[in-house]
Structure 1
Amino acid sequence: MFKFILLVTLVAVAAAEVELVVKDCGSHDAIINSIRVDQCDAEPCIVHKGQDYTIHVNFTATRTVQEAHNVLHGGIGFLQAPFPLHPENACQGSVQCPIVSGQTYEYVQTMTCPSFAPSVSVLARWEVKDEHRQDIFCFTTKLSIRG
């Protein structure tokens, strides 16, 4: 019985998502409470070309905004390359607009690592922008892209 409990515990720990250590890069309209990626079990997250990854950002709005737009870039040094996110309109996803000041939201977005991405370590910059193109929230985290 002890071996079974130990096995179940080890499987549960191995399947748990990691709460990412991120750097806020200019959140203007929200406070980020937590960020996790379903398919990430260690940092930096290893992402494979052509595979989907789902991110969860728990945030509290500090200002009411009418629109929200997804933006993702991967960078090596000063070079920044955009990564496509669909839908671009974040209000068509898990967060309904308007985003109201003082309310807490769970932003959920799935992205596919592009097959054209080079196999390198990058600093990902994830932004959700308001109708004035200011960051509702913005964070950076390290990713390792693999083939």
Structure 2
Amino acid sequence: MIKIIALLVLSLVSCTVAVQLKYVSCGSTAVVHSIVLEPCAAEPCVIHIGQNYTGSINFTPKVNHDHAYNFASGDVTGAGTEEIWNINPNDACTKGVKCPIQAGLQQTYTATVTVPITNPKRMAAKWQVKDSNDPAAHPIICFVFPVTIVA
């Protein structure tokens, strides 16, 4: 019995923790059904410098798109300054989006990103997927969620 309990506790400790994010849309033209970030155990998500995080976005586009590109940034809480995060590669079609994107066809986009921040802070993280490699293009998916960056 003790061995069974020990195995159960060990398996629970080793599980990947994920939470469905509470987010604010910032102009998505697709319907976003859910966003999950792993490993993120609670809101706001505590993100460790240099750690990899995997996000899964379940969405249904409203219009067709030939291609998709990733854009990410963070707005430092209280400072009002946006930091641009380089995503490499920024071509979302090589990182999980099934292109060309077909209107009405639900898909789940999964991407792994290493945290690009080098100093601890609280911020609002913004993730966008656009149909052009132009940062000024209108987003297919755009959402903002709170994070706390820790060393």
Q: Shorter-chain TM-score: what band? A: 0.7 to 0.9
Task: Say which of 141, 144, 149 aligns to 1:140.
Answer: 144
TM-score scaled by structure 2? 0.85
Whether the aligned pair in 1 keeps the contact of 2:17 and 2:39 (CA below 8 Å) is: no
Q: Which residue of 1 aligns with 2:67?
A: 67
Which residue of structure 1 lines up, in the alignment, with residue 37 of structure 2? 37
1:27 maps to a residue whose letter is: S
Residue 124 of structure 2 is matched in structure 1 by: 123
Q: Distance in 2 between matches of 1:90 and 1:75?
A: 22
Cα RMSD, aligned residues only = 2.4
2 CA distance for matches of 1:24 and 1:115? Answer: 23
- Is residue 95 of structure 2 the alignment partner of residue 93 of structure 1? yes
Cα distance in structure 2, aligned partners of 1:15 and 1:119: 23
User: Displacement, 1:32?
Assistant: 0.4
Q: Give the Cα–Cα distance (whole angstroms) in 2 for the partners of residues 114 and 88 of structure 1.
A: 14
Whether contact under 8 Å (2:48, 2:149) holds in the other structure is yes
Q: CA deviation at 1:67?
A: 1.3
SS across alignment from 1:4: helix
**Contact 1:15-1:41 within 8 A present in 2 as well:** no
Matched to 2:21, the amino acid is L
Change (3 A) 1:43 1:51: same
- Distance in 2, matches of 1:69 and 1:38, equals 21
Q: Per-residue deviation at 1:53? A: 0.6
Aligned length: 145
**TM-score, scaled relative to structure 1:** 0.87
Which runs of no fewer than 5 residues in structure 2 stay unpaired?
Answer: none
Name the CA distance, whole Å, in 1 between partners of 2:103 and 2:74: 30
Aligned to 2:82: 80
Runs of 4+ with >4 A deviation: none
